[in-house]
Amino acid sequence: MAAALAWLAAACLLFAAQVACEYGMVHVISETGSPRGKDYCILYNPQWAHLPHDLSKASLLQLRDWTTSTLCSPSDLPAKGFSNQIPLVTRGNCTFYDKVRLAQGSGAHGLLIVSKETLVPPGGNKTQYEEIGIPVALLSHKDMLDIFKSFGRAVRAALYAPHEPMLDYNMVIIFVMAVGTVALGGYWAGSRDVKKRYMKHKRDDGPEKQEDEAVDVTPVMTCVFVVMCCSMLVLLYYFYDHLVYVIIGIFCLASSTGLYSCLSPLVQRLPFGKCRVCDNSLPYFHKFPQVRMLLLAVFCVAVSVVWGVFRNEDQWAWILQDALGIAFCLYMLKTIRLPTFKDASAQACTLLLLVLFIYDVFFVFITPFLTKSGNSIMVEVATGPADSATHEKLPMVLKVPRLNTSPLALCDRPFSLLGFGDILVPGLLVAYCHRFDVQVQSSRVYFVACTIAYGIGLLVTFMALALMQRGQPALLYLVPCTLITSGALALWRRELGMFWTGSGFAVNTSLL
């Protein structure tokens, strides 16, 4: 107990010791050319000095290139100082306080420190914060080069920190896609499983042969799956540039399969293309597939290949990624089955939800205290490391570009993300609720309640994201919302025992 309290205290101290930082903007214009300017992202610490929120209230000062110096000693100062200027200096080995103290003493009205590494907040202590009255911020080396290439050496700059909306409108799109996928996938999975079990009850010789077999998740499979997830996440964190292409290849294959599975029921309703391929010895064609199904397979592979080739086209490739991702999630929800809650493979449902709940919280909230950079392993991998040489992003997320017009969109990630796991894990419970609805002939009350609970959990996730301004483990909110709602509803209807064991399959198919 004492050791646990010690760890908790250490974690709190580490959290409290983190340096406050915010994104801001440096607006640059040419002194000799066009008055049209450009904004660049900076990372600043408001404890040194606050920046105005409105560009019109920010002072437009001369930006002086002093990057040949680290500004670590008085000998690095120019003879005439930095009167009414904002000097640009390189990072060097001295503290931020050493730099800004020299700059302020020589008349500077701000300080921009150019860094080739990942931008880190310029920290100090309380005494140093009280002494300094000018803003200090970090600017990436790439942006510095772009400034002088675009505007020349004679430039003026203004530092400001515009307000950013707490939530972007793209959250509405993500909400609709996520809830719609969970609802549709849960309904489809439940209906398919109930039909299969009904046919088994109706026919003495067992169930009719299904084109796709469901996969029952056992506790052992759950443990193996979680261990694999943890291992893959850690490997991606350390070997991202090597493994990211493996994940992209897996996504292309899995998403094309999912798209085929989603579209095949629709294509089978078409009145044409029913003729079959002639007799042959090819691996797939020996089953004599219909021409229309063969054309569908080619189409699905083509869509996946187009995304793979143009995946970095930010203007439109995200639409294909989301479509393929939704198809993949629907396919997984239809294929993976959690039959009951308690016996045999039935413990898988509760076990899977709770273990992944802990997994999500650990890799988002706990790992920042274990990594040298202080970043969450989950967030770092999901968004792509800042120092990645490939600049590739993992595709296992729904992504929608930011829709707000704030200049800070340049600093923050240009896309909002929701991982597939945040859809699949609660979606499995929604699918079980639909199957149970048919079992007890309850007019889908469990299915609707669990779907609504998922939507509420997602809204709570968005609220936490807005309040904390950091990546959130969505399962922290989704798992309690869906599990508690389903269990409470079963308790209120006095069906908790049946709901827990999944017993009593009804032969009535009016709800199918």
Cα–Cα–Cα angle for 391, 394, 396, nearest 5°?
165
CA distance 102 to 132: 10
Helix (H) or strand (E) holding 302: helix 291-309
Letter for the amino acid at 182?
V
SS3 (DSSP) at 103: helix
Torsion of CA 242, 243, 248, 254, to 10 degrees: 150
CA proximity to 180, closest of 316, 330, 319 = 330
- Neighbour-count burial for 67-104, b at 16+ CB within 10 Å, e otherwise: bebbbbeeebbeeeebeebbbbbbbeeeebbbbbbbbb
Joined tokens for residue 70: 């680290």
CA proximity to 499, closest of 448, 442, 422 = 442
Whether residue 387 lies in the annotated active site = no
Residue 116 burial by Cβ neighbours in a 10 Å radius (0-12, 13-18, 19+): exposed
Q: At what angle do helices 317-335 and 421-440 cross, to 10 degrees?
A: 40
Q: Annotated catalytic residue: which of 360, 387, 412, 437?
A: 360
Joined tokens for residue 83: 């009167």
CA distance 86 to 106: 11
Beta strand pairing call for 155-160 and 22-30: antiparallel
Whether residue 314 lies in the annotated active site = no
CA proximity to 241, closest of 416, 381, 415 = 381
Q: Annotated catalytic residue: which of 168, 322, 422, 437?
A: 422
Joined tokens for residue 24: 């801001």
CA distance 502 to 496: 10
Q: At what angle do helices 240-267 and 291-309 cross, to 10 degrees?
A: 150
Residue 347 burial by Cβ neighbours in a 10 Å radius (0-12, 13-18, 19+): middle
| Greatest distance between any 2 Cα atoms in the chain | 98
Contacts of 256 (CB under 8 A, 6+ apart): 300, 301, 303, 304, 324
**What is the set of active-site residues?**
360, 422
